């Protein structure tokens, strides 16, 4: 019913995490409903090549654009055609801490709680071209990982496995991949 409603309204843009967008794409394929999706904006996790390929197969000609943001301060940077993310420099001041982690300061004085030198938990490289600042090589700085749009801490997985196995010293290895349908494994 939602897809039929989206078709009736002429929806041509999708926004979400890559995992959620894959679910929508599979629902479109399985329903036989056609949506003229021309742009997809993703955030919340990295768009892997397998997921992008599935989205392009189901929505031919679609333009996929990444948006780097944090729930604490909103959208910080927009992906450019070369894969780097252009910082919204009128809204944020970004800097790289000595340990390589991204620190963000919001330049919006109207926020009820100002964000000053917020440690994003991400590590990356900064690149300056003229007055523009770009982020690239973005990755988690800790051992948490993103699975279907959810940030999961490895220590939580270890604790659950230890309880399930009734062992306090369980060793856990997590291997993430994407199947040919673009689903996280």
- Per residue in 125-143, pLDDT tens? 999 999 999 999 887 776 6
The pLDDT value recorded for residue 173 is 75
How far apart (Å, rounded) are the C-alpha atoms in residues 40 and 13?
6
Q: Which of 28, 46, 1 is nearest to 14 (CA)?
A: 28
In a 13 Å sphere around the CA of 28, the CA atoms on its Cβ side amount to 23
In this structure, the chain runs to a length of 185
pTM, two decimal places: 0.70
């Amino acid at each position: 019913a939602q897809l039929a409603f989206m078709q009736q309204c002429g929806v041509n843009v999708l926004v979400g995490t890559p995992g959620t967008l894959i679910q929508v794409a599979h629902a479109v394929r399985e329903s036989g409903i056609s949506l003229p999706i021309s742009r997809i904006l993703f955030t919340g996790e990295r768009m892997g090549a397998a997921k992008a390929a599935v989205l392009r197969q189901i929505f031919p000609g679609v333009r996929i654009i990444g948006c780097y943001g944090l729930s604490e301060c909103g959208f910080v940077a927009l992906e450019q055609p070369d894969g780097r993310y252009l910082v919204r420099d009128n809204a944020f001041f970004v800097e790289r801490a000595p340990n390589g982690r991204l620190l963000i300061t919001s330049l919006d004085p109207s926020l009820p709680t100002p964000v000053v030198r917020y440690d994003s938990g991400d590590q990356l490289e900064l690149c300056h071209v003229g007055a523009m600042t770009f982020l690239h090589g973005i990755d988690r700085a800790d051992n948490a990982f993103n699975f279907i749009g959810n940030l999961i801490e490895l220590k939580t997985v270890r604790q659950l496995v230890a309880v399930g196995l009734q062992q306090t010293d369980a060793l856990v290895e997590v291997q993430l991949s994407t199947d040919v349908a673009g689903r996280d494994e």
